Amino acid sequence: MGAALLLTLPELILSLTSLALLMVAAYAGDRSVRMVSILSVAALVAAAFAALLPPTGYGIAFGGLYRADAFSAFAKLLIYVAAGVSIVIAPAFFHRAPGQGGTLRAEYPILILLSTIGTGMMVSAGDMLTLYVGLELQSLASYVLASFMRRDLRSAESGLKYFVLGALASGILLYGISLVYGFTGTTQYDGIAVAFREGLSTGQLFGLVFVFAGLAFKIAAVPFHMWTPDVYEGAPTPVTAFFATAQKVGAVALLLRVAVEAMGSASDAWMQIVIFSALASTILGGVAAIGQSNIKRLLAYSSINNVGFALFGLVPGDANGVSSVLTYLAVYIVMTLGSFLCILRMRDAEGRPVEEISALSGLSRLRPGLAAALAIFMFSLAGIPPLFGFWPKFLVFDALVAIGMWPLAMVGIATSVIGAYYYLKIVKTMYFDEPATPFGASPDRVEGGLIAVGALIVSPLGYLLIGPLGAYSLAAARALFPG
């Protein structure tokens, strides 16, 4: 038992910290927000170290309910980084947001921590029940986060929408889990894998389809993407950044684990689902984004589009493909966090946030540095070399070509040209159009520093990371393929 507890050290650290901080927040009130934020980030850093360097080595805990392996460590590292950034950027945003009384409520970092624990549980789950518990913890905290600006109508709407549709998705997922349990007699991934190996019964197939449908909702893949633009638009920007990065990584990693560890022997059955969803996501994410005028909505479609590309990497169902998805996620969170950081700098003279794309007009002349950074992120999201966003797309399609699915790779990569159009539109607005009203000053050095770091990583210098990133993601992917 003690050894099992030690394996869950990252979750323990975060849980104990969040509970303790909850008490602090309850008694000290919003004045304590600065300290709570700092301690939360410190807890995330400690948890990241605990995940990367587990004191007792990797292993399986609680009779297979929980797994600590290279895969979960990789995913958790990304999740914790994204969560940390979401906490760091919040105070400045809420300070300026209208109707917030000028301060961030102290519960914000704690809710992020709780959601992060759930996300971490999801990627470490070795059993459908752990998965579900983690997912619900993550979701419940998220619903509150989405409506965190409670006097803002859009934020409230966003939270409600997320809750209703999220509950529906949980229901679908739970129904799938119950079918799988009913027809295989187990909820453990290993047991399901053994049962599926002897051929798929109709009931098991139904279970599989429902599980994938529920998970597709969580990763916002077409046709279960409808909630994304509304939720992303309405939620406070730092929360949107958290949804688009930490939660996305968690959900995609969870999908990888379920697809490979539990249902790997039925890959023929889910491959069609994944291919359809990947193609539909890249096409819809590209086409629907073209008409958007709100940059947060545009990034919501961009995230749908990117999930589609990541899903292409799952199609082969081998270590090569999984490692390409992990690399995709790593680069994706840098690009997305960077874009959201740039959006946080969009604010008018009084400091109110601006979200219209047209407000970016001529930004390259008013704020050349910010414009250059956002242009780098946009070209990178579009996957244009020499920016680093090209590399994960390269790996994903390489994994497809490696198993002979080059026609699919051809179609998939052609859809990336649709996506390129709207990323170019942002660059065009910033560089070709006449300057609009200038944005207010942004003295926040932390934000600026984070933007600079992000831009450097996705710049051509990022290619120097290929070696370590490739080796690490491959080691993580191998953890899913025993033997």
Partner 1 sequence: MSFPILSVMLLVPALAAVGCLFLSPGGARWLALAATLVDLLLGVLLWVGFDNAGAQWQYQEYSPVFGRFAWALGIDGIALMLIMLSVFLMPICIAASWDAIEKRVPEYMAAFLLMETLMIGVFAAQDMFLFYIMFEAGLIPMYLIIGIWGGAERIYASYKFFLYTLLGSVVMLVAMLWMVREAGTSSIPELMAYDFPPQAQTWLFLAFFASFAVKMPMWPVHTWLPDAHVQAPTAGSVILAGVLLKMGGYGFIRFSLPMFPEASAQLFWLVMGLSMVAVVYASLVALVQSDMKKLIAYSSVAHMAFVTIGLFAFNRQGLEGSVMMMLSHGLISGALFLCVGVIYDRLHTREIARYGGLADIMPKYALFFLLFTMGSVGLPGTAGFIGEFLSLIGAYRANSWVAFVCTTGIILGAAYMLYLYARVVYGKVKSDEVAAMPDLSARELALVVPLALAVLWMGIYPESFLAPMRRDIGLLVARVERAYPQGDAHLMARVGAPAAAAPAAHGTEH
Residues that bind partner 1 (CB under 8 A): 364-365, 368, 379, 384-386, 390, 394-395, 397-398, 401-402, 406, 409-410, 413-414, 416-417, 420-421, 424, 427-428, 431-432, 463-464, 466-467, 470-471
CB of 53 vs partner 1, minimal distance in Å: 24
CB of 426 vs partner 1, minimal distance in Å: 13
Q: In angstroms, rounded to a whole number, what is the distance separating the alpha carbons of residues 82 and 76?
A: 10
Residue number with CB closer to partner 1 (30 or 398): 398
CB of 153 vs partner 1, minimal distance in Å: 36
Q: Of 293, 156, 272, 285, nearest to 208 (Cα)?
A: 272
Distance spanning both ends of the chain, measured CA to CA? 27
Q: In angstroms, rounded to a whole number, what is the distance separating the alpha carbons of residues 143 and 158?
A: 8
Peptide bond into 223 cis (omega under 30): yes
Report residue 443 as tokens: 């003295």
CB of 324 vs partner 1, minimal distance in Å: 11
Peptide bond into 386 cis (omega under 30): yes
CB of 379 vs partner 1, minimal distance in Å: 6
Cβ atoms of 225 and 311 within 8 Å: the answer is no
Residue number with CB closer to partner 1 (351 or 470): 470
CB of 173 vs partner 1, minimal distance in Å: 35
Return the DSSP state at 262. I
CB of 279 vs partner 1, minimal distance in Å: 15
3-state class (DSSP) for residue 455: helix
Residue number with CB closer to partner 1 (446 or 461): 461
CB of 463 vs partner 1, minimal distance in Å: 5
The CB-side HSE value for 275 (13 A sphere, CA atoms) comes to 16
Residue number with CB closer to partner 1 (410 or 453): 410
CB of 410 vs partner 1, minimal distance in Å: 5
Residue number with CB closer to partner 1 (220 or 334): 334
Write a three-state SS string for 207-218.
HHHHHHHHHHHH
Residue with the two structure tokens 């910010």: 370
Residue number with CB closer to partner 1 (17 or 416): 416
Report which residue type is found at 231.
V
CB of 432 vs partner 1, minimal distance in Å: 5
Residue number with CB closer to partner 1 (120 or 321): 321
Residue 348 CB coordination number (10 Å) = 14
The CB-side HSE value for 187 (13 A sphere, CA atoms) comes to 17
Residue number with CB closer to partner 1 (181 or 463): 463
Q: In angstroms, rounded to a whole number, what is the distance separating the alpha carbons of residues 46 and 104?
A: 24
Cβ-Cβ contacts under 8 Å for 300 (sequence gap 6 or more): 228, 229, 231, 232, 233, 244
Cβ-Cβ contacts under 8 Å for 175 (sequence gap 6 or more): 210, 214
Strands (E) located in 57-135:
59-61, 66-68
Residue number with CB closer to partner 1 (28 or 474): 474
3-state class (DSSP) for residue 188: strand
In whole angstroms, how far apart are CA 247 and each of 33, 82, 326, 396? 23, 9, 14, 21
Angle at 106 between CA 105 and CA 112, to 5 degrees: 100
Residue number with CB closer to partner 1 (201 or 293): 293
Residue number with CB closer to partner 1 (301 or 397): 397
CB of 423 vs partner 1, minimal distance in Å: 10
Report residue 326 as tokens: 């992990």
Residue 168: exposure state from Cβ atoms within 10 A (0-12, 13-18, ≥19): middle
Residue number with CB closer to partner 1 (269 or 465): 465
Cβ atoms of 14 and 44 within 8 Å: the answer is yes
CB of 15 vs partner 1, minimal distance in Å: 38
